[in-house]
Amino acid sequence: MRISTVMVVDAANVVGSRPTGWWKDRAAASRTLHEKLLVGDTPHDEIVLVLEGQGKGGVKAGKIQHVRTVHAPKDGDSEIERQTRAAVEKGCRVTVITGDNFLRARVQGIGAMAMSPSWLLDRL
Protein backbone atom coordinates (compact mmCIF):
# COMPACT_ATOMS: atom_id res chain seq x y z
CA MET A 1 0.00 0.00 0.00
CA ARG A 2 1.32 3.42 -1.00
CA ILE A 3 1.54 6.14 1.65
CA SER A 4 -0.18 9.39 0.67
CA THR A 5 1.94 12.54 0.74
CA VAL A 6 0.62 15.92 1.87
CA MET A 7 2.26 19.33 1.71
CA VAL A 8 0.89 22.01 4.05
CA VAL A 9 1.83 25.52 2.90
CA ASP A 10 2.12 28.54 5.20
CA ALA A 11 0.96 30.95 2.48
CA ALA A 12 1.69 34.15 4.39
CA ASN A 13 5.22 32.98 5.11
CA VAL A 14 5.91 31.79 1.56
CA VAL A 15 4.48 34.94 -0.04
CA GLY A 16 6.38 37.12 2.42
CA SER A 17 9.70 35.40 1.82
CA ARG A 18 10.51 37.41 -1.31
CA PRO A 19 10.13 41.18 -1.87
CA THR A 20 7.70 41.02 -4.79
CA GLY A 21 5.41 43.84 -3.65
CA TRP A 22 3.01 41.33 -2.07
CA TRP A 23 2.19 43.78 0.73
CA LYS A 24 0.37 46.04 -1.76
CA ASP A 25 -2.21 43.33 -2.53
CA ARG A 26 -2.11 40.29 -0.25
CA ALA A 27 -5.14 38.71 -1.91
CA ALA A 28 -3.49 38.85 -5.34
CA ALA A 29 -0.27 37.41 -3.91
CA SER A 30 -2.24 34.47 -2.45
CA ARG A 31 -4.01 33.93 -5.77
CA THR A 32 -0.66 33.89 -7.62
CA LEU A 33 0.76 31.33 -5.18
CA HIS A 34 -2.37 29.17 -5.58
CA GLU A 35 -2.07 29.27 -9.36
CA LYS A 36 1.59 28.25 -9.18
CA LEU A 37 0.74 25.36 -6.86
CA LEU A 38 -1.84 24.08 -9.34
CA VAL A 39 0.77 23.70 -12.08
CA GLY A 40 3.98 23.33 -10.03
CA ASP A 41 6.18 20.28 -10.02
CA THR A 42 5.86 18.89 -6.50
CA PRO A 43 5.89 15.21 -5.54
CA HIS A 44 2.86 15.49 -3.22
CA ASP A 45 -0.55 13.90 -3.66
CA GLU A 46 -2.31 16.80 -1.95
CA ILE A 47 -1.34 20.37 -1.18
CA VAL A 48 -3.08 22.22 1.64
CA LEU A 49 -2.75 25.99 1.20
CA VAL A 50 -3.47 27.78 4.48
CA LEU A 51 -4.55 31.40 4.07
CA GLU A 52 -5.06 33.97 6.80
CA GLY A 53 -6.03 37.62 7.06
CA GLN A 54 -6.28 39.60 3.82
CA GLY A 55 -4.78 36.70 1.90
CA LYS A 56 -8.10 34.84 2.24
CA GLY A 57 -9.63 37.27 -0.25
CA GLY A 58 -7.53 35.86 -3.08
CA VAL A 59 -8.75 32.26 -3.16
CA LYS A 60 -12.01 30.67 -2.07
CA ALA A 61 -11.82 27.87 0.47
CA GLY A 62 -12.20 24.47 -1.15
CA LYS A 63 -10.43 22.04 -3.44
CA ILE A 64 -9.30 22.48 -7.03
CA GLN A 65 -7.46 19.49 -8.47
CA HIS A 66 -4.85 18.48 -5.87
CA VAL A 67 -4.80 21.84 -4.03
CA ARG A 68 -7.11 22.31 -1.06
CA THR A 69 -7.37 25.88 0.21
CA VAL A 70 -8.18 26.40 3.88
CA HIS A 71 -9.08 29.76 5.45
CA ALA A 72 -7.64 29.95 8.96
CA PRO A 73 -10.40 31.00 11.38
CA LYS A 74 -7.86 32.70 13.64
CA ASP A 75 -4.10 32.57 13.21
CA GLY A 76 -2.49 30.65 10.39
CA ASP A 77 0.01 28.80 12.59
CA SER A 78 -2.72 27.08 14.62
CA GLU A 79 -4.51 26.02 11.43
CA ILE A 80 -1.27 24.73 9.90
CA GLU A 81 -0.65 22.69 13.03
CA ARG A 82 -4.24 21.37 12.95
CA GLN A 83 -4.01 20.39 9.26
CA THR A 84 -0.64 18.74 9.86
CA ARG A 85 -1.87 16.75 12.85
CA ALA A 86 -4.95 15.54 10.93
CA ALA A 87 -2.84 14.34 7.99
CA VAL A 88 -0.26 12.62 10.22
CA GLU A 89 -3.07 10.87 12.13
CA LYS A 90 -4.38 9.53 8.80
CA GLY A 91 -0.97 7.99 8.19
CA CYS A 92 0.16 10.48 5.55
CA ARG A 93 3.72 11.62 5.05
CA VAL A 94 3.54 15.38 5.65
CA THR A 95 5.84 18.22 4.63
CA VAL A 96 5.16 21.70 5.99
CA ILE A 97 6.48 24.72 4.11
CA THR A 98 7.35 27.59 6.45
CA GLY A 99 10.26 29.74 7.46
CA ASP A 100 8.89 30.21 10.97
CA ASN A 101 11.31 28.34 13.25
CA PHE A 102 8.83 28.03 16.12
CA LEU A 103 6.17 26.56 13.79
CA ARG A 104 8.77 24.26 12.22
CA ALA A 105 9.58 22.84 15.65
CA ARG A 106 5.89 22.37 16.45
CA VAL A 107 5.09 20.43 13.27
CA GLN A 108 8.27 18.36 13.50
CA GLY A 109 7.12 17.38 17.00
CA ILE A 110 3.90 16.07 15.43
CA GLY A 111 5.87 13.96 12.95
CA ALA A 112 6.02 16.18 9.86
CA MET A 113 9.04 17.27 7.90
CA ALA A 114 9.57 21.04 7.49
CA MET A 115 11.04 22.76 4.45
CA SER A 116 11.76 26.40 3.68
CA PRO A 117 9.74 28.69 1.41
CA SER A 118 12.70 28.81 -1.00
CA TRP A 119 12.58 25.00 -1.34
CA LEU A 120 8.99 25.30 -2.57
CA LEU A 121 9.48 28.41 -4.68
CA ASP A 122 12.41 26.79 -6.48
CA ARG A 123 9.98 24.07 -7.63
CA LEU A 124 7.23 26.38 -8.83
Mean pLDDT of 54-70: 93
pLDDT at residue 112, as a whole number: 97
> What range does the domain containing 35 cover?
5-121
**More confident of the two residues 20 and 38:** 38
For the full predicted model, state whether its pTM sits above 0.85.
Answer: yes
Residues 6+ apart with CB under 8 A from 57: 26, 27, 30
With H, G, I as helix, E, B as strand and everything else as coil, classify residue 97.
strand
In this predicted structure, the answer to whether residue 11 has a pLDDT above a threshold of 70 is yes
User: What distances in angstroms separate CA 15 from CA 41, 86, 117, one per listed residue?
Assistant: 18, 24, 8
pLDDT at residue 1, as a whole number: 62
For residue 116, the domain's CATH number is 3.40.50.1010
Please give the tally of structural domains in the chain.
Answer: 1
What is d(CA 15, CA 29) in angstroms, rounded to the nearest whole number?
7
What is the rounded average pLDDT for all residues in the chain? 92
In this predicted structure, the answer to whether residue 111 has a pLDDT above a threshold of 70 is yes
